[in-house]
Amino acid sequence: MSAWEMSISVEYSSVSSHSPASSRCQMICLSSQRVLPFLVLASTLLAAVEDAAARTFYVNNRLGSDRFNGVAAEAVNRQTGPVATIGRALKLARSSDIISLADTGIPYYESISLVGVRHSGTAARPFTILGNGASLSGAIRVPETAWQQVGTDLWQLKPYRKGHYQLILDGKAVPEVRPQPDEKWTEVPELPVGSWCAFRGAIHYQAERLIEPESMNFAFAQRTTGITFYGVRNVFVDNLKVEHFRIDGANANDRATDVVLSGVLIVENGRAGLTVAGTSLVAVVGCRIERNRDESILLKEAAALVAQETRLDVPPTQK
């Protein structure tokens, strides 16, 4: 067995007779000499963040402004105060810095891309994003004119980007009907009221009788990925909700090592909650990764994962 091959030990238990089977991933063990140091890193990173001397940039999507310098949680003068977007904070930040998000009750409708040395840290001073319970969302509202009626209370929406979809109503994923593995649809199937399916590059939604969807609070997953890690090292993300992205909630594309997600909730994304690929090494600690459209965790190529006290609704997939 090579250094990156894995043995997975997962405990499965049914939550109740009325709920789908769920799993609590107790540990995913790696046959690598890096395992023990990385487990120690995962358990001590929060203390390192709290103790280390690093610059902190504050983000507030209600009261902040990207004209501020981001070094204060509240506005002090015309220059000093929180920035409004995570993207602006990432431009200001350097290696081993901290980005702290205010939980304003309004999701941050943007993506986070962490790339290279600038967004890396050290074991003692990781590059850190403190979510503080905030939400990161990839959804955008469906324009009223985007719906087209194609049948009796059957409506069609054609997203610009094809291949992965997620339809959202009032902030929650709408129930989806999907074909069985050996089934091919030649037309839109009969859908239960309040559900949708993907067919020939479009979303089809079965509305209630005489209820037009443009009068409802629909959104769809538009942004590609919530958090992207590429070529980074020693990164810590804590207490953040990531939802409604078209492909993945989080993606460690390649060469993302010693990345720790702690207390992160990743739900209702169009492909996987978390994808770890290339030679990336990621730990998830105290996370919940549930209700994503295809996979909870997708492991590809020579990637490796450590999971502790992390709740999954379906087991990880390795490809």
Q: What is the DSSP string of 168-211?
A: EETTEEPPB----TT---SSPPP--TT-EEEETTEEEEEPPTT-
Alpha helices in the chain (DSSP H): 35-51, 86-92
DSSP conformational letter for 145: G
Residue 138: partners with Cβ closer than 8 Å, 6 or more residues away: 109, 111, 221, 222, 223, 224, 225, 226, 243, 244, 245, 246, 269
Establish if 121 belongs to a structural domain: yes
Amino acid identity of 159? Answer: P
pLDDT in tens, 151-170: 999 999 999 888 899 999 99
pLDDT at 28: 43
Contact between residue 194 and residue 206 where contact means Cβ atoms under 8 Å apart: yes
**13 plus 132 within the same structural domain:** yes
| Last-in-domain residue among 163, 196, 221 | 221
| Last-in-domain residue among 221, 241, 265 | 221
**233 plus 131 within the same structural domain:** yes
Q: Residue 271 — φ and ψ, nearest 5°?
A: -125, -80
Establish if 157 belongs to a structural domain: yes
In angstroms, how far is the first alpha carbon of the chain from the final one?
Answer: 16
DSSP conformational letter for 123: S
**211 plus 260 within the same structural domain:** no
Using CA atoms, how far residue 155 sits from 167, 185, 186, 279, in Å, is 13, 18, 17, 43
**31 plus 129 within the same structural domain:** yes
Contact between residue 155 and residue 213 where contact means Cβ atoms under 8 Å apart: yes
**34 plus 114 within the same structural domain:** yes
Residue 186, token pair as written in the block: 């030649």
Establish if 45 belongs to a structural domain: yes
**149 plus 278 within the same structural domain:** no
**268 plus 129 within the same structural domain:** yes
Contact between residue 296 and residue 318 where contact means Cβ atoms under 8 Å apart: no
- Give the residue among 312, 275, 267, 311 at the shortest CA–CA distance from 173: 267
Domain limits for position 24? 6-55+93-138+224-318
Rounded Cα distance, 304 and 292, in Å: 20
Residue 67, classed as helix, strand or coil, is: coil
Establish if 81 belongs to a structural domain: no
Rounded Cα distance, 165 and 200, in Å: 12
**112 plus 151 within the same structural domain:** no
| Last-in-domain residue among 221, 238, 265 | 221
**161 plus 211 within the same structural domain:** yes
Establish if 73 belongs to a structural domain: no
**13 plus 116 within the same structural domain:** yes
Establish if 64 belongs to a structural domain: no
Residues of the chain with pLDDT under 70: 1-53
**13 plus 97 within the same structural domain:** yes
Contact between residue 176 and residue 196 where contact means Cβ atoms under 8 Å apart: yes
Establish if 195 belongs to a structural domain: yes
Establish if 127 belongs to a structural domain: yes
In this structure, the strands spanning 167-169 and 233-238 are unpaired
**48 plus 157 within the same structural domain:** no
DSSP conformational letter for 118: G
Q: What is the pTM of this model?
A: 0.86
Number of domains in the chain: 2
Residue 281, token pair as written in the block: 């090494």
Rounded Cα distance, 3 and 40, in Å: 19
Amino acid identity of 177? Answer: V
Return the HEC string of 288-303.
Answer: EEECCCCEEEEECCCC
pLDDT at 61: 98
